[in-house]
Chains A and B, each alone.
Chain A
Amino acid sequence: MPVTPDLSVDLAPGHKRGLLLRNPVMPASGTFSWGFEFEHHFGPEGIRRLGAVVSKGVTMEPRAGNRQPRVAETPAGMLNSIGLQNVGIEACVRDLAPQWARWETPVIVNVAGDTIDEFGEMARMLDGVPGVAALELNISCPNVDTGGMEIGQSVEASARATSAAVRNTDLPVIVKLTPNVTDPVALARACEAEGAAAICAINTVLGMAIDVDRRRPVLPRARGGLSGPAIKPIALRIVYDVAGAVRIPVIGCGGIATSRDALEFLMAGASAVQVGTATFANPRALLDVVEGLEAWCAAEGVARIADIIGCARPAPVA
């Protein structure tokens, strides 16, 4: 008699509010807008199939984003320089959160401060707002002039941003790391020490493309964030390293397009995964990953997906 596998995972086990997901699959910030397009096309039942929803990056003030071109397709990936186009935190709390509150699926709000104080201020504004289940600190956006990756590239600034957020909210705080550093493990440890509930790794990898005919960079800001299958091995290595160094859960992100990709991250030690760029190429990518994990667990006789988290890691030395 086959049993339905238990896909649930807890992303904030030590936290007073917790963050229990029905399955470990969620969109990556900035690749799912605010969730309403997905609801429009796949219905409320589509949203219910996801472990969580992660919003686009929200900033203190509304932003129009960068000028065109904003994206460049590259081998097995893309460069983006969207520039955090978003409605701003006030409209997020006022207009978006009440709509999220309709959903059973928890919504994680990705916040992008320009300064450490802004991370604290936005955490305070989101605290206790119905419809918001957790925060994800975007200290890793490469496409803006201030804040973003500058904070995320300094261990000290990352720790201070984490602490500013944690002190101002009862919600679990996830910190999203940039891969554009020598030692992501040091960043993860510092954020854990300041009370982060979980670590998300990774944001986009800094990259570039040049239009040979125009003899100019394709993107007006020259650099952009590389995402998609091209970065999966980098993301997997960082997740593997970070998961071995912290006790809090790690969310794997970067190039995940199929359930087998997701399984690689879970086996490397991630407790959950985010699917980003894959959704652009395949609108069903998130649903395919969920269904693929269910089918794999059933076929392999895995009763609880939590049992395979970190199974590819070396056994701890006694």
Chain B
Amino acid sequence: MQIEDAVILETRPAWEGAYITWFHAPSLSRGVEPGQFVMVHCSRERTDPMFARAFSYYRAEGERFALCYAVVGRGTRWLSEQPPGTPVRAYGPLGRGFRLPAAPSNLLLIGGGVGIAPLVETAWQAVAAGHHVVAMMGARSAAHLLPASEWPREVEYVVVTEDGSAGPRGFVTAHLGSYQAWANRIYACGPNAMFQSLADTLRGNGRRQSPEILMEENMPCGWGMCYGCAIFTRHGVRLCCKDGPRFNLFDVF
């Protein structure tokens, strides 16, 4: 774990109510596995709120990293409003990320809402390693989609919206179509309802893959000290921050 005052370089909208913020922070940007996360303090004095917030790495590149986050409360609002040059205390990288296969493979990435964030870094690393990548994003509407320009050119980007304003209408897990048969591996991140529906869908199709997923829990510390982030799995209770956030879909859902 590295601790550093990450300096905000720029913040721009990702979609309605969500932002992408780039930070300069050499020690926090090196050796990041896709799916790992960083704890970011979302207040200047670090007293209110006192605890850092967990964010997946959206990108990590050279001496810089980026987050893609939805504004859901006071911490994320504060972060989205800080001007470039603001130092923000952060520590990471933490947790266990996705394991990509050694040989070039067909990878299907499935993201629900802001759960798409870690899949973007995953796609960049996967493409660099020679994998074929299809990324599917489920969102509320066309106004809540990550722009296609955020993905590496090699990635096929498929969008599904709940209201049908872009792509097919409904939940992303109802539109896996032929991609499921094509994929050697599936990686997913999103709300628990999406994981449940993915598990149900794959069970119905004979469970050809056992997806790796990234889960979320309240994380006061992020490094295995507080036991606040417990996740109950078929193999017993696990800490999301330390044993995860990567889990096997069928161990939990």
Which residues of chain A have a CB within 8 Å of any CB of chain B? 30-33, 37-38, 41, 56, 64-65, 67-71, 73, 75-78, 80, 82, 85, 228-229, 279-284
Interface string of B42-71 (1 = CB under 8 A from A): 000011111110000000000000000000
Instruction: Judge whether A279 and B221 touch: CB under 8 Å.
Output: yes
A37 partner, pick from B48, B51, B223, beta carbons under 8 A: B223
B103 to chain A, nearest CB (A): 31
**CB distance A280 to B221 under 8 Å?**
yes
A-B contact count (CB 8 A): 78
Residues of A within 8 A of B217 (CB): 68
List 17 additional contacts besides A38-B225, A70-B228, A82-B228; criterion CB under 8 Å. A56-B227, A68-B217, A70-B230, A71-B226, A73-B51, A75-B48, A76-B50, A80-B228, A82-B226, A85-B227, A85-B237, A229-B50, A280-B51, A280-B225, A281-B46, A281-B52, A284-B3
- What are the residues of chain A within 8 A of B52 when measuring CB–CB? 281
Sample of 23 A–B contacts (CB below 8 Å): A30-B226, A30-B227, A31-B226, A37-B242, A64-B232, A64-B236, A65-B237, A70-B218, A70-B230, A71-B218, A71-B220, A71-B228, A73-B51, A78-B220, A80-B226, A82-B226, A85-B237, A280-B51, A280-B226, A281-B41, A281-B52, A282-B46, A283-B91
Q: Which residues of B contact A82 (CB under 8 A)?
A: 226-228
A144 to chain B, nearest CB (A): 14
Tell me which residues from 51 to 99 in chain B have a Cβ below 8 Å from any Cβ of chain A. 51-52, 91
- Whether B220 contacts A76 by the Cβ 8 Å rule is no
- Decide yes or no: A33 and B220 within 8 Å by CB, A64-B237, A228-B50, A281-B50 being known contacts: no
The smallest beta-carbon distance between A231 and chain B, in angstroms, is 13
Q: 1/0 per residue B224-252: CB within 8 Å of A?
A: 11111010100011000010000000000
B174 cross-chain contacts in A, Cβ below 8 A? none
Q: How far is the CA of A281 from the CA of B3 in the complex (A)?
A: 12
Verify B51–A283 contact, CB threshold 8 A.
no
Measured CA separation A229–B221 after assembly (Å): 16
Closest beta carbon of chain A to B170's beta carbon, Å: 28
- Inter-chain CA distance A38–B48, complex, in Å, is 25
A37 to B239, CA, bound (A): 12
Does B225 lie within 8 Å of A33, measured CB to CB? Answer: yes
Cα–Cα, bound, A239→B194 (Å):
50
Determine whether the beta carbon of B230 is less than 8 Å from that of A85: yes
Bound-state CA distance A93–B223 (Å) is: 24
Task: List the A residue with the shortest CB-CB distance to B46.
Answer: A281
Task: List residues of chain B with CB within 8 A of the CB of A69.
Answer: 218
The listed residue with most B CB atoms (<10 A of its CB), out of A56, A77, A282, is A282
Most chain A CB within a 10 A radius of its CB, from B41, B50, B51: B50
Complex CA–CA separation, A63 to B41 (angstroms): 32
* Chain A CB within 8 A of B1 CB: yes
Measured CB to CB, the nearest residue on chain B to A280 is: B221
Q: Which residues of B are interface residues toward A (Cβ below 8 A)?
A: 1, 3, 41, 46-52, 91, 217-218, 220-221, 223-228, 230, 232, 236-237, 242
Provide the residues of chain A in CB contact with B236, threshold 8 Å. 64
Q: Is the CB of B226 within 8 A of A73?
A: no
Cβ of B225 and Cβ of A32 under 8 Å apart? Answer: yes
A36 to B, closest residue via Cβ: B224
Closest to B226 in A: A280
* Cβ contacts under 8 Å, B220 to chain A: 71, 73, 78, 280-281
For the complex, give the distance between the alpha carbons of A64 and B236 in Å. 8
For residue B242, which residue of chain A has the nearest CB? Answer: A37
Min CB–CB distance A282 → chain B (angstroms)? 7
| Residues of A contacting B242 in the complex (Cβ-Cβ under 8 angstroms) | 37
**A138 smallest CB distance to B (angstroms):** 15
Contact in complex: B224, A33 (CB < 8 Å)? yes
Cβ of A110 to closest chain B Cβ, rounded Å = 13
* B50 A73 Cβ-Cβ under 8 A: yes
Q: Are A31 and B232 in contact (CB under 8 A)?
A: no
Interface pairs A-B: 4 shortest CB-CB: A280-B221, A71-B228, A37-B224, A41-B1
Assembled-state Cα–Cα distance A195/B230 (Å): 37
Chain A residues contacting B227 (CB-CB under 8 Å) are 30, 33, 56, 65, 70, 82, 85
Shortest beta-carbon distance from A210 to chain B in Å: 17
Expressed in whole angstroms, the Cα–Cα distance for A32 and B221 within the complex equals 11
In the assembly, what is the distance between CA of A56 and CA of B225, in Å? Answer: 9
A308 to chain B, nearest CB (A): 27
Q: A31–B51 contact, CB under 8 A?
A: no
Contact A229 B47 (CB under 8 A): yes
Residue pair B232, A73 in contact (C-beta under 8 Å) = no
Closest B residue to A64 using CB positions: B237
For the complex, give the distance between the alpha carbons of A30 and B221 in Å.
12
Are B47 and A283 in contact, CB atoms less than 8 angstroms apart? no
CA–CA, A280 and B54, complex, Å:
12
Chain A contacts of B50 at CB under 8 A?
73, 76-78, 228-229, 281
